[in-house]
Amino acid sequence: MSHEFPADSVGLVQPQTLHFDQPLALACGRTLNCYDLVIETYGTLNADRSNAILICHALSGHHHVAGYHTADDKKPGWWDSAIGPGKPIDTNKFFVIGLNNLGGCHGSTGPGSTNPDTGKPYGPDFPIVTVQDWVNSQVRLADHFGIDQWAAIVGGSLGGMQALQWSIDFPERLRHCLVIASAPKLSAQNIAFNEVARQAISRDIEFHDGHYYGEDTVPRTGLMLARMLGHITYLSADGMREKFGRELRSGNLSFDFTPQFEVESYLRYQGERFSTEFDANTYLLMTKALDYYDPAAEYGDCLATAVAQTRCKFFVAAFTTDWRFAPERSREIVDALIDAGKKVSYAEIAADHGHDAFLIPIPRYMEVFRAYMTQVDADVPALTTGEGN
């Protein structure tokens, strides 16, 4: 069937669910006794398991990072632009794992999963998980595959925070850390936007204090509003001007409240679609993981101290019109790494696409990404059997 897909696609892929039985202690003080992680893999793990790359996802991401689920699937995984044969993350060379994080709504254990203690969905009783919790769960995933050291851990946005945290908490377990369109912690403005989204969801009459699973409903309005708002922060003002301008759907002002400007109907469509696809409790958890992320907090609020113990090389990239996580935020990471004497490559990519740019195959971005991944590949140790690299 793969002949139906582009030549540089990983083609047809299938998720798999891994069950973990070892209790996972969480930052909040609670413990998950067991949990599932749903994953996808692309490419082939080499004999000494040294060519593995972990892809960490952002707020609304999941395990389906590249390829297609069915022969007539029109839409590939969310980062298909960067992952596949010959692409920056070249599946001819690397073994790539994408996962859905704990607390997610795409198959991994989360608020919609059955709480073994009650036999009902966790709902709002699912613990608030942190970036560090996710990293700890991903360590189990590495162990499951016998991967002692990742060739690279790669993430954009909230995914970049996970990659960065890996480098701090498990310095020996990755050779490269790629932090794209991310930040070392949220700003007050970032938190404020998240709080509006959370209020929109939790005050939706269909939210039922998070127990909507049993009510045969979902807080669609709240999720729609959260997504509309999120979407504005993912795009740049310039990008929106270029994409929509002040264009009217019909020629004239209607003097009513139907959507008139193109940008209005676009946002409504995006919001409504999302509200049927995503879980509200998961959205709340993901925004909280973002708000809480602050790796320097344990190190006297000094990021350079936090990264002092890292052993990997770093690639940090930012996009000029990203105002959710502006280039200055990436430069905070770069500066801390330099202060700590670490090896870091930094690319600031000119792009009109705002925060979303990290998902878009902008030529200059793909070039530097590819160039860096060539170094990642060169750093894959030659197999003792001579087959490697």
Instruction: Read off the amino acid at residue 36.
Output: D
**What span, in angstroms and rounded, lies between the C-alpha atoms of 299 and 139?**
22
- Which residue of 8, 169, 264, 332 would you call a contact of a second copy, by CB under 8 A? 264
Q: Which stretch binds a second copy (CB under 8 A): 12-20, 35-43, 144-152, 264-272?
A: 264-272
**What span, in angstroms and rounded, lies between the C-alpha atoms of 260 and 249?**
5
Instruction: Enter the tokens of residue 3.
Output: 């002949």
Cβ atoms of 80 and 9 closer than 8 Å: yes
Nearer to a second copy, 8 or 264 (CB): 264
- Which residue of 196, 350, 371, 382 would you call a contact of a second copy, by CB under 8 A? 196
Residues serving a catalytic function are: 157, 322, 355
For a second copy, how many residues bind (rule: CB under 8 A)?
A: 54
CA angle at 101 for the pair 37 and 8, rounded to the nearest 5°: 85
Nearer to a second copy, 258 or 374 (CB): 258
Among 342, 343, 337, 345, smallest CA distance to 304 is for 337
**Least Å from the CB of residue 339 to a second copy:** 21
**What span, in angstroms and rounded, lies between the C-alpha atoms of 171 and 49?**
17
> Is residue 302 within the footprint of a second copy (CB under 8 A)?
no
Nearer to a second copy, 17 or 187 (CB): 187
DSSP 272-317: HHHHHHS-HHHHHHHHHHHHH--GGGGGTT-HHHHTTT--SEEEEE
Q: Which stretch binds a second copy (CB under 8 A): 17-25, 225-233, 302-310, 379-387?
A: 225-233
Among 120, 42, 118, smallest CA distance to 85 is for 42
**What span, in angstroms and rounded, lies between the C-alpha atoms of 169 and 95?**
23
CA angle at 34 for the pair 94 and 112, rounded to the nearest 5°: 90
**Least Å from the CB of residue 383 to a second copy:** 45
Which sign does the torsion angle of CA 145, 149, 154, 159 carry? positive
Nearer to a second copy, 13 or 228 (CB): 228
**Least Å from the CB of residue 168 to a second copy:** 18
- Which residue of 84, 103, 111, 271 would you call a contact of a second copy, by CB under 8 A? 271
- Which residue of 193, 212, 234, 372 would you call a contact of a second copy, by CB under 8 A? 193
> Is residue 250 within the footprint of a second copy (CB under 8 A)?
no
**Least Å from the CB of residue 187 to a second copy:** 6
Phi, psi of 331 (to 5 degrees): -65, -25
Nearer to a second copy, 97 or 289 (CB): 289
**Least Å from the CB of residue 8 to a second copy:** 33
- Helix, strand or coil, per DSSP, at residue 92: coil
> Is residue 203 within the footprint of a second copy (CB under 8 A)?
yes
- Within residues 104-143, the interface with a second copy by CB under 8 A covers 127-128
- Which residue of 10, 154, 267, 286 would you call a contact of a second copy, by CB under 8 A? 267
Residues 6 or more apart whose CB falls under 8 angstroms from that of 311 comprise 167, 171, 172
Q: Which stretch binds a second copy (CB under 8 A): 34-42, 46-54, 152-160, 184-192?
A: 184-192
- Within residues 323-382, the interface with a second copy by CB under 8 A covers 323
- Within residues 29-58, the interface with a second copy by CB under 8 A covers 29
The 10 Å Cβ neighbour count of residue 188 is 6
Nearer to a second copy, 225 or 317 (CB): 225
Among 166, 188, 187, smallest CA distance to 177 is for 166
Would you tell me which residues interact with a second copy (CB under 8 A)?
Answer: 27-29, 127-128, 185-189, 191-193, 195-196, 198-200, 202-205, 221, 224-225, 228-229, 232, 235, 237, 240-241, 243-246, 253, 255-257, 259-261, 263-264, 267-268, 271, 284, 288, 291-292, 294, 323
